[in-house]
């Protein structure tokens, strides 16, 4: 096996080894499940690792209908999965990662709202998302998840020159570009985990 392929496999293993705390496991799927779902929905799935310098700390996945070859007349962008490893929670990485996700959302044509959802519970993200600006949109999914929306994202279709939230797709290495570089003060519920909004899962 080529050295690059071995490196990619090792990095994928590192990503799938990330864990939330046992109390949070019912609120978010494992990264292995998320990556598998991304490949079943590869036309609209966008997924990235979250790094603090050289340290791998989390994972984020979006459902982006603007990526589809034949997108629907009304496109949408949803935060499908979002997690920070239990060893790195409470340091502001979740909040900073969402800053980068919103920066990415602004590059998507026709997008002015970022959707997500969460499962209610004491160890879920019910405080984290409102602290970032998400608000309930009045919808509840059949699974019972509460739907939220972050408005005024205002996608432009322009590509960012410097966006550092990167991860492997189509078998490429998960390493290289990094997402986060500094620590931040703890915020309410930071960093909550998300089962992901409006997903086909």
What does pLDDT average to over the chain?
76
Give the residues across from 113 on adjacent strands: 151
Give the domain extent around 119. 3-151
Pairing of strands 113-118, 77-84: parallel
How far apart, in Å, are the Cα atoms of 15 and each of 7, 90, 103? 12, 19, 23
Domain assignment present for 200: no
Domain assignment present for 175: no
Q: What total of structural domains would you count in the chain?
A: 1
Q: Residue 95: which CATH number?
A: 3.40.630.30
Domain assignment present for 110: yes
What span, in angstroms and rounded, lies between the C-alpha atoms of 126 and 182? 25
Domain assignment present for 166: no
> 152 φ, ψ to 5°?
65, 35
Domain assignment present for 59: yes
pLDDT in tens, 50-78: 988 888 999 999 999 999 999 999 999 99
pLDDT in the model for residue 154 = 53
Helix (H, G, I), strand (E, B) or coil at 172: coil
Report the 3 state secondary structure along 74-112.
CCCEEEEEEEECHHHCCCCHHHHHHHHHHHHHCCCCCCC
Q: Tokens 């189509």, residue?
A: 170
Domain assignment present for 99: yes
pLDDT in the model for residue 13 = 87
What span, in angstroms and rounded, lies between the C-alpha atoms of 192 and 95? 9
pLDDT in the model for residue 2 = 54
pLDDT in the model for residue 44 = 95
Domain assignment present for 72: yes
Which stretches of the chain score pLDDT less than 70? 1-10, 154-201
Domain assignment present for 34: yes
CA gyration radius for the chain? 16
pLDDT in the model for residue 9 = 53
pLDDT in the model for residue 155 = 46
């Amino acid at each position: 096996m080529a050295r690059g392929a071995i490196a990619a496999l090792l990095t994928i293993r590192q990503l799938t080894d990330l864990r939330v705390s046992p109390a949070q496991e019912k609120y978010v799927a494992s990264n292995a499940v998320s990556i598998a779902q991304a490949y079943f929905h590869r036309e609209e799935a966008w997924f990235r690792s979250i790094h603090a310098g050289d340290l791998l700390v989390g994972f984020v996945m979006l459902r982006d209908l603007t990526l589809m070859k034949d997108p629907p007349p009304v496109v949408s962008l949803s935060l499908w999965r979002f997690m920070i490893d239990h060893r790195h929670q409470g340091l502001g990485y979740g909040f900073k990662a969402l800053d980068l996700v919103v920066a990415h959302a602004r590059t998507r044509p026709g997008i002015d709202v970022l959707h997500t959802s969460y499962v209610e519970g004491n160890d879920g993200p019910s405080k984290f998302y409102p602290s970032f600006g998400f608000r309930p949109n009045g919808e509840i999914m059949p699974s019972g998840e509460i739907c939220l929306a972050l408005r005024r994202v205002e996608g432009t279709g322009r590509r960012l020159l410097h966006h550092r939230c990167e991860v492997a797709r189509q078998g490429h290495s998960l390493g290289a570009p990094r997402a986060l570089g500094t620590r931040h003060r703890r915020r309410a519920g930071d960093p909550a985990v998300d089962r992901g909004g409006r997903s086909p899962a």
